[in-house]
């Protein structure tokens, strides 16, 4: 299972005598197998929320529950991919995936981990680069390895913090299609929480889009388009254009509110 329940979540950063309230009384439920994208301006709390879901930070107030159990730290039921994912530079592409598998699935043998790592690298079209080291791979190739590692670990929940943000548009599109296809075609859909600034990316990938303004949830959109989705046809459709315009209006409204608050 991969149900997430966020109840009255607040988080405050403290620096010497200063405090900054990054999250303020958030409430959100995510169902098992849902693909949820979180969008909003930089600094609105998206990445902070993801870190708390990952167990890398603990709430100042409130609770996060996964399958009715409170989150008290990192766990093998969750896997995180960051924008600049840190592959171990001393391990090959295959070695990085194997390492993730052995950490998450303790009972698996070294031979089985190697076979599984190779299979997932082939799924992300990196079979040719199994023995290459991260410095020999482009940014897009490194993210493919990170996705292979994440999927091979077989965690119930995938947490992705702008994983394609630093990649050129062509490779980004390829990775979006790859991730959506692998998520959709799996034996059992994982729960995905995906942070992004890209509205088109969110509409293409998500079952739901959560729009955040600083510290709070502003809106919750249900994306009901059938899968598999054709990227170009979907984003040119009238219903999609309407949703995109509504999200853009929220971005502009949020910018205006920030300007007023700064005066």
pLDDT of residue 262: 43
Of 43 and 256, the one with more pLDDT: 43
141 exposed, middle or buried (CB, 10 Å; 0-12, 13-18, 19+)? buried
Domain boundary among 137, 154, 171: 154
In a shared domain, residues 238 and 182 = yes
d(CA 79, CA 153): 8
pLDDT of residue 254: 61
pLDDT greater than 60 at residue 257: no
pLDDT of residue 253: 77
Q: What is the CATH number of the domain that holds 35?
A: 3.40.50.300
Closest CA to 119 of 255, 81, 108: 108
Q: Are 115 and 83 in contact (CB under 8 A)?
A: no
The H-assigned helical ranges of 105-237 are: 110-123, 139-152, 169-185, 199-205, 231-236
Q: Which residues pair with 195 in a beta bridge?
A: 38, 161
In a shared domain, residues 128 and 106 = yes
Mean pLDDT, the chain, integer = 90
- pLDDT of 206-234, one tens digit each? 999 999 999 999 999 999 999 989 888 99
pLDDT greater than 50 at residue 100: yes
pLDDT of residue 42: 87
d(CA 58, CA 49): 10
In a shared domain, residues 138 and 149 = yes
Give the pLDDT mean for 29-44: 94
pLDDT of residue 210: 97
pLDDT greater than 80 at residue 166: no
In a shared domain, residues 117 and 167 = no
In a shared domain, residues 176 and 139 = no
In a shared domain, residues 92 and 193 = no
pLDDT of residue 263: 35
- pLDDT of 62-82, one tens digit each? 999 999 999 999 998 999 888
pLDDT of residue 261: 46
pLDDT of residue 256: 54
Tell me the three state secondary structure of residue 212. strand
Q: Which residues pair with 4 in a beta bridge?
A: 30, 66
pLDDT of residue 186: 72
In a shared domain, residues 237 and 168 = yes
In a shared domain, residues 144 and 178 = no
In a shared domain, residues 170 and 43 = yes
Domain boundary among 154, 173, 188: 154
In-domain check, residue 19: no
Residue 51's domain comprises 31-55+73-77+156-263
């Amino acid at each position: 299972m991969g149900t997430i329940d966020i109840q009255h979540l607040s988080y405050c950063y403290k620096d010497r005598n200063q405090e900054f309230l990054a999250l303020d009384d958030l409430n959100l439920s995510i169902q098992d197998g849902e693909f949820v994208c979180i969008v909003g301006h930089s600094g609105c709390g998206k990445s902070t929320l993801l870190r708390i879901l990952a167990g890398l930070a603990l709430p100042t107030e409130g609770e996060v529950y996964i399958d009715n159990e409170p989150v008290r730290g990192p766990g093998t039921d969750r896997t995180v991919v960051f924008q600049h994912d840190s592959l171990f530079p001393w391990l090959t592409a295959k070695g990085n995936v194997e390492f993730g598998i052995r950490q998450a699935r303790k009972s698996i043998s070294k031979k089985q981990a190697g076979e599984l790592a190779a299979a997932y690298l082939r799924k992300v079209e990196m079979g040719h680069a199994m023995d290459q080291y991260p410095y020999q791979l482009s940014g897009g190739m490194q993210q493919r390895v990170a996705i292979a590692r994440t999927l091979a670990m077989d965690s119930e929940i995938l947490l992705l913090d702008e994983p394609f943000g630093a990649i050129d548009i062509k490779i980004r599109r390829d990775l979006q299609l790859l991730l959506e296809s692998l998520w959709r075609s799996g034996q059992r859909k994982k729960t995905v929480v995906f942070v992004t600034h890209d509205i088109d990316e969110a509409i293409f990938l998500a079952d739901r889009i959560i729009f955040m303004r600083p510290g709070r949830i502003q809106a919750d959109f249900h994306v009901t388009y059938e899968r598999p989705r054709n990227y170009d046809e979907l984003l040119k459709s009238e219903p999609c254009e309407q949703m995109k315009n509504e999200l853009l209006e929220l971005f502009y409204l949020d910018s205006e509110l920030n300007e007023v608050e700064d005066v």
